[in-house]
Amino acid sequence: MKQEKRTEISSIGEFGLIERISRNTEALNESTVKGIGDDAAILDSSDKQRVLTTDMLLEGVHFDLAYMPLQHLGYKAVAVNVSDVAAMNAVPKQITVNIGLSNRMSVEAVDALYDGIKAACKDYKVDLVGGDTTASYSGLVISVTAIGEAEAAKVVRRSGAQKGDIVCVTGDLGGAFIGLQVLAREKQEFVENPEMQPQLGTYSYIVQRQLKPDARMDIIHELAEQNIVPTSMIDVSDGLASELLHICRNSGVGVQIYEDKLPIDKQTYDTAVEFGIDPITCVMNGGEDYELLFTISQSEYEKLKNHMDIHFIGFVNEHANQARLVTKGGNVVDIKAQGFTHFKK
- Contact residues for ligand ADP (CB under 6 A)? 18, 21, 36-39, 97, 99, 128, 130-133
By a kind-dependent CB cut-off of 5 to 8 A, residue 208 interacts, out of Mg ion, ligand ADP, none, with: none
**41 and 128 Cβ atoms separated by less than 8 Å:** no
Q: Is the dihedral of CA 181, 69, 65, 3 positive or negative?
A: positive
Q: From the CB of 40, what's the least distance to ligand ADP, in Å? A: 7
Residue 169 bridge partners (DSSP): 293, 311
By a kind-dependent CB cut-off of 5 to 8 A, residue 21 interacts, out of ligand ADP, Mg ion, none, with: ligand ADP
Around Cβ 139, how many Cβ atoms within 10 Å? 17
Question: Angle, nearest 10°, between helix axes 266-274 and 175-192?
Answer: 50
Q: From the CB of 114, what's the least distance to ligand ADP, in Å? A: 8
31/256 with CB nearer ligand ADP: 31
Q: Is 173 helix (H, G, I), strand (E, B) or coil?
A: coil
132/189 with CB nearer Mg ion: 132
130/171 with CB nearer Mg ion: 130
Give the range of 127-135, 170-178, 201-209, 275-283 binding Mg ion by CB under 5 A.
127-135
Let me know if 199 is exposed, middle or buried by CB neighbors in 10 A (0-12, 13-18, 19+). Answer: exposed
By a kind-dependent CB cut-off of 5 to 8 A, residue 230 interacts, out of ligand ADP, Mg ion, none, with: none
C-alpha closest to that of 18 among 45, 1, 39:
39
**156 and 89 Cβ atoms separated by less than 8 Å:** yes
132/274 with CB nearer Mg ion: 132
14 touches Mg ion (CB under 5 A): no
C-alpha closest to that of 34 among 110, 104, 129:
129
By a kind-dependent CB cut-off of 5 to 8 A, residue 146 interacts, out of Mg ion, ligand ADP, none, with: none
Residues from 221 through 250 that contact Mg ion (CB under 5 A): none
Residues from 130 through 149 that contact Mg ion (CB under 5 A): 132
CA dist., res. 306 & res. 233, Å (int): 20
132/218 with CB nearer Mg ion: 132
77/283 with CB nearer ligand ADP: 77
By a kind-dependent CB cut-off of 5 to 8 A, residue 192 interacts, out of ligand ADP, Mg ion, none, with: none
**111 and 6 Cβ atoms separated by less than 8 Å:** no
